[in-house]
Amino acid sequence: MTKRLLLLLSLALAPVAAPATAGVNGFSIVNRTGVALSAMEVRRTGGKDWTPLSAAPAAGASAAVAFSDPDCAFDLRGTVAGAGPAVWRGVNLCDVKSVTLNRDASGRTWVDYD
């Protein structure tokens, strides 16, 4: 009886696995590069195939992106007016409202999150 009671008690106190909720379900791109962006694309980090995005915000503007994927890590690429393509690597698109794309005069890129 004691063994059975201990077994039931241990099962009752065992942690229950929660379903994973990771994944991208839309976000906004904020353009802080100082110039217009066009031809915005996305790919899984380390992937080869780029997928066009529906948004390419002007300098200082933001645009909503309807994009859904079960993964979180992505590369973003956009054409910078007068400079060609710029890539923001390893961008975490899970659990963010917006991604601010930055680029300095030397071409270095980085992302800020909200």
**What is the bridge-based pairing of β-strands 24-32 and 98-103?**
parallel
Phi, psi of 2 (to 5 degrees): -65, -40
Residue 3 placed within a domain: no
Residue 102 domain-assigned (yes or no): yes
Give the number of residues written for the chain: 114
- Does some domain include residue 4? no
d(CA 102, CA 86): 10
Question: What is the number of other CB atoms lying within 10 angstroms of the CB of residue 24?
Answer: 20
> Which pLDDT score is estimated for 8?
47
Low-confidence ranges of the chain (pLDDT < 70): 1-22
pLDDT one-digit tens code per residue, 67-81: 899 999 999 999 988
Residue 10 lies in a domain: no
* Residue 18 domain flag: no
Q: What does the alpha-carbon distance between residue 89 and residue 59 come to, in Å, rounded to a whole number? A: 20
Residue 5 maps to a domain? no
Query: For residue 32, what is the domain's CATH number?
Result: 2.60.40.2890
The verdict on residue 76 lying in a domain is yes
Domain count, the chain: 1
pTM over 0.85: no
Our CA dihedral for 75, 95, 28, 51, rounded to 10 degrees, sits at 30
Whole-number pLDDT of residue 14: 47
Give percent helix, percent strand, percent coil of the chain, each to the nearest 5: 10, 50, 40
Instruction: Tell me if 44 is assigned to some domain.
Output: yes
pLDDT digits (tens, 9 = 90+) for 7-19: 444 545 444 433 4
The pLDDT, as a whole number, for residue 20 is 47
Range of the domain at 59: 24-113
